[in-house]
Amino acid sequence: MISLFVRSIFVDNMIFAFFLGMCSYLAVSKNVKTALGLGVAVTFVLLVTVPVDYALQTYVLGPDAIVAGVDLTFLAFILFIAVIAGIVQLVEMVVERFSPSLYAALGIFLPLIAVNCAIMGASLFMQQRVTMEPTNAQFIGGFGDAIAYALGSGIGWLLAIVGLAAIREKMAYTDVPKPLQGLGITFITVGLMALAFMCFSGLNI
Amino acid sequence: MSKLFSDENKAAFTGPLNVNNPITVQVLGICSALAVTSQLKPAIVMGLSVTVITAFSNVIISLLRKTIPNRIRIIVQLVVVAALVTIVSQLLKAYVYDVSVQLSVYVGLIITNCILMGRLEAFAMQNAPWPSFLDGIGNGLGYAAILVIVGFVRELFGFGTLFGYNVIPESWYVSNGGWYQNNGMMVMPAMSLIIVGCVIWAHRSINKEEK
């Protein structure tokens, strides 16, 4: 379980290995503070949705789960997205009720987590990993594993967005060619960060 | 008939292909664009799937736009898109199974592709079905064009092949006494980011005066 957790932070990093959640990653990484807020929100939503989707996958969708001989896996897309949209709505209401200041700081990005690919991606990867061989390092075999995977992916995403935000804050002072400014140079920076993160591949605990 | 291809409709179709490209200008749908481009074939299949799904979800939402209550529109849009993606994913599994395995979760991730939500919100909610359809096709093809460029560069330099066929002569390779070697870096995911960065750079330098 610890191996799964560490691997999902560094080796199977949501941003650098799978490019999930790229849209909000590029849009919200202009300063460290908001980046941190969004990272925490994404981690939290992942932590709730992936175990719920795991339960759905095991007890409702999987082969022979409800009725023997019935495989409802093809309904996964619709069910997962409904769960995600519902949970994001719930999180939004809870945050608004108990921490209005955080709610104001996150603003529009809170509801947008529903269409963040990282959440849907983690659920779909979880679905893939349930069917893997138990000896595989990426295997998810129970609620504990699902939670470890969700937390690891969330922290990996948080790390990536805070890192990029810090670099972009510094980059404001550099002289970048005009057509490359903004989006272009950000892409290249992320590419170089991804190359750096590749040194973790093969990490095993 | 002439109304069907009026100037406005033409603009809805051709705009996203170049000047208003979804990836390089609107910055939508980056996630899947990067992951599926290590070879040309999955890139093309992905581009076409997104084109079809964007076009039809645009039409459906545009037909429903007057009946959808504003408060729950995101959920309605997501359900329409999810249903279309399920259909496309089942079709891919039935007819091009090897590509669908290669695309793995990224077919499902079309649901959360920002191009879809972005176009539904920005265009289909305000426009009639036919322009929405053209807008969907245009944006899908603009997206596909970038995918094909990145896929072409990565497959050519990373594997020395195009569509799985060798294009670099065998005798050029170092192992056969030549001078050429495949660039393994291109196969790695990180390079697709850098290539997209360069495509954006080129695109912005060419279209500079229109800004």
Q: What is the mean pLDDT of each run of 10 residues along chain A (205 residues)?
A: 79 79 76 81 86 84 70 78 83 81 72 77 82 72 83 89 87 78 80 82 67
DSSP annotation of A57 reads I
| CA distance to partner chain A, nearest, from residue B185 (Å) | 9
Which is it for the CA torsion B124, B146, B202, B17, positive or negative?
negative
Residue A143: other Cβ atoms inside 10 A: 13
User: Which of B78, B106, B193 best probes binding to A when mutated, by most A CB atoms within 10 angstroms?
Assistant: B193
Which of A21, A183, A194 lies nearest to residue B27, judging by beta carbons? A183
B126: tokens are: 């305000």
Q: With CB atoms and an 8 Å threshold, state whether A183 touches B113.
A: no
Burial A106-142 (b: 16+ CB within 10 A, else e): beebbebbbbbbbbbbbbbbbbebbeeeeeeebebee
Q: Is residue A112 classed as helix, strand or coil in its secondary structure?
A: helix
Closest residue by Cα to residue B15 from B149, B136, B148: B136
| CA distance to partner chain B, nearest, from residue A75 (Å) | 7
As a whole number of angstroms, the distance between CA A102 and CA A90 comes to 15
pLDDT of B3 over the 60 cut:
no
Q: With CB atoms and an 8 Å threshold, state whether B31 touches A23.
A: yes
DSSP string covering A6-31: HHHHHTT-TTTTT-TTHHHHHHSTTS
pLDDT of B211 over the 70 cut:
no
Q: Please state the pTM of the whole predicted model.
A: 0.79
Q: With CB atoms and an 8 Å threshold, state whether B82 touches A81.
A: yes
pLDDT in tens, B5-61: 666 666 666 766 666 777 777 677 777 777 777 778 888 888 888 888 888 888 888
Q: With CB atoms and an 8 Å threshold, state whether A85 touches B30.
A: no
pLDDT at site A41: 82
Q: With CB atoms and an 8 Å threshold, state whether B34 touches A22.
A: yes
Q: With CB atoms and an 8 Å threshold, state whether B197 touches A188.
A: yes
pLDDT at site A203: 67
Whether the Cβ atoms of residue B73 and residue B65 lie closer than 8 Å to each other = no
The single residue listed with the structure tokens 């903004």 is A182
Is the ipTM reported for this complex over the cut 0.85?
A: no
With CA atoms as reference, the chain B residue closest to A111 would be B74
pLDDT of B209 over the 70 cut:
no
Q: With CB atoms and an 8 Å threshold, state whether A16 touches B189.
A: yes
B57: tokens are: 């979800």
Q: With CB atoms and an 8 Å threshold, state whether A117 touches B32.
A: yes
| CA distance to partner chain A, nearest, from residue B198 (Å) | 7
User: Which of A74, A108, A187 best probes binding to B when mutated, by most B CB atoms within 10 angstroms?
Assistant: A187
Size of interface A-B (CB pairs under 8 A): 128
Average pLDDT over residues B172-197: 73
Beta bridge partners of B161: B166
As a whole number of angstroms, the distance between CA A110 and CA B101 comes to 33
Sort out which chain B residues have CB atoms less than 8 A from A188's CB and list them: 193-194, 197-198
Q: With CB atoms and an 8 Å threshold, state whether A179 touches B208.
A: yes
B75: tokens are: 């959920």
User: Which of B201, B207, B208 best probes binding to A when mutated, by most A CB atoms within 10 angstroms?
Assistant: B201
Residues 6+ apart with CB under 8 A from B129: B59, B62, B63
As a whole number of angstroms, the distance between CA A34 and CA B9 comes to 39
Task: Show which residues on chain A lie within 8 Å of chain B, measured between beta carbons.
Answer: 16-23, 26-27, 74-78, 81-82, 85, 111, 114-117, 119-121, 124-125, 128, 177-180, 183-188, 190-192, 194-195, 198
pLDDT in tens, B93-144: 888 888 888 777 778 778 777 778 778 877 777 888 888 888 888 888 888 8
Q: With CB atoms and an 8 Å threshold, state whether B79 touches A121.
A: no
As a whole number of angstroms, the distance between CA A106 and CA A47 comes to 18
Residue B7: other Cβ atoms inside 10 A: 7
Q: With CB atoms and an 8 Å threshold, state whether A191 touches B208.
A: no
